[in-house]
Amino acid sequence: MLCATLHALCSTEREYKARALCVLGARHGTRLMGLRTSPDPSGGAVHLWVTLGVDGAASVHLEELISRLSAEPGVRDLHWRLHSVPTARERGREREREREQLAAR
C-alpha cells in the first residue's frame, strides 16, 4: 500500500483548521491512517503529522489537499513524502533484526 505522510508547522490559532482540512481531505481513495499533533518547543506553533493511505488516482486528491494546506494562513513548513507500508512479513523481519542487534550488545 502506498502512503503519504504530511508534516506542517501551524500557528496554534490555525492548527484546528489544518487538522480539519486533513480529516475532510481523506476521501475518494485516500484513507486517514493517523493524525498526531505536538506543541512546538518554541511556543506559538503546533506540529501536525498526518498519514494517509493513497490508492492510484487518489494522488490527485492528495495534491488538492497539499494545495489547500499550503494556501492556509498560519500553515508553514509543509512537506510530505510518499512511502510504502511494509507487509507483516517485512515488519517481522525488521523486529527480528532489532532483537539480534540488541542481543549482540
Find, among 13, 56, 19, the residue nearest to 34 by Cα: 19
Residue 1 DSSP symbol: -
3-state secondary structure 27-83: CCCEEEEEEEEEECCCCCEEEEEEEEEECHHHHHHHHHHHHHHHHCCCEEEEEEEEE
Q: What is the pLDDT of residue 45?
A: 95
Mean pLDDT of 89-99: 78
How sure is the predictor about 14, in pLDDT bands with cuts at 50, 70 and 90? very high
Q: What is the pLDDT of residue 87?
A: 64
Whether residue 105 is predicted with pLDDT greater than 70 in this model: the reply is no
CB contact at 8 A, 63 and 82: no
Find, among 86, 84, 93, 80, the residue nearest to 54 by Cα: 84
Give SS3 for 13.
Answer: coil
The CATH number of the domain covering residues in 2-104:
3.30.70.260
Whether residue 90 is predicted with pLDDT greater than 90 in this model: the reply is no
Q: What is the pLDDT of residue 98?
A: 81
Whether residue 7 is predicted with pLDDT greater than 80 in this model: the reply is yes
Which of the residue ranges 31-45, 46-60, 62-76, 83-97 would you say has the lowest mean pLDDT? 83-97
